[in-house]
């Protein structure tokens, strides 16, 4: 018996009633930790330059406490950003309805985007090197208005392919009915 995709359990005040949102893959947590961790290391290395220069005596006028405070502050911000990743991924969800696709995201600032099938011009599925390694894909929904373009990251590759075909078929059916 095939297992159903996990659903999101936390409801927001702006969620439509009666809609069950499907979660993206938990592998997205790993992908985002790698991406943000790598970026954090770059920022930490840059913030550590004054410390290295002060410790080697090249830059003796730089206050010692500031040379330590700058990388410490960057490290604290990077660790906080990494700690939020699992909760941010759990907040991402999508739901297919008869007339539109709903995409929700956000922890502090909740967002529910409604993309009508009839407004979709094309559906783009992408897979970068890290996503390919983890078996994930991203779906980009392009509409006539840039404000309603949407991206849904962290889908398993098979689900992204299925969703692309489903959304394309529904979009064509809605355009034919105009």
Give domain status of residue 18, yes or no: no
- Regarding predicted confidence, which is higher, 177 or 97? 97
What's the rounded Cα separation, in Å, for the pair 114 and 121?
15
pLDDT of residue 1: 41
Quote the number of domains for the chain. Answer: 2
Read off the pLDDT of each residue in 112-133 and give the average, rounded to a whole number: 89
Distance CA 33, CA 176 (A): 43
Residue 67 within any structural domain of the chain: yes
CB-count burial class (<10 Å; 0-12, 13-18, 19+) for 127: middle
My answer on whether 83 and 97 are in the same domain is no
Mind listing the pLDDT tens digit for each residue in 20-61?
A: 899 999 999 999 999 999 999 999 999 999 888 888 888 777
DSSP 155-175: EEHHHHHHHHHHHHHHHHHHH
Using pLDDT thresholds of 50, 70 and 90, give the confidence band for residue 90: very high
Share of the chain above pLDDT 90, in %: 50
CB 25 within 8 A of CB 130: no
pLDDT confidence tier of residue 146, bands split at 50, 70 and 90 = confident
Shared domain check, 44 and 103: no
* pLDDT band at residue 158 using 50, 70 and 90 as cut-offs: very high
Predicted TM-score of the model (pTM)? 0.82
């Amino acid at each position: 018996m095939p297992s159903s995709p996990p659903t999101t359990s936390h409801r927001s005040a702006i969620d439509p009633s009666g809609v069950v949102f499907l979660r993206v893959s938990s592998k997205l947590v790993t992908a985002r930790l790698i991406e943000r961790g790598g970026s954090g290391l770059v920022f930490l290395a840059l913030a550590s330059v004054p410390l290295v220069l002060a410790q080697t005596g090249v830059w003796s006028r730089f206050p010692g406490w500031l040379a330590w405070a700058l990388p410490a502050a960057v490290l604290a911000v990077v660790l906080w950003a990494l700690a939020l990743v699992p909760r941010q991924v759990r907040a991402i969800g999508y739901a297919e309805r008869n007339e539109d696709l709903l995409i929700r995201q956000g922890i502090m600032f909740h967002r529910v985007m409604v993309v009508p099938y009839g407004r979709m011009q094309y559906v783009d599925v992408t897979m970068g090197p890290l996503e390919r390694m983890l078996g994930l894909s991203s779906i980009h929904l392009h509409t006539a208005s840039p404000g309603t373009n949407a991206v849904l990251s962290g889908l398993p590759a098979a689900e992204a392919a299925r969703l692309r075909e489903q959304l394309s078929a529904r979009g064509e059916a809605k355009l034919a009915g105009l």
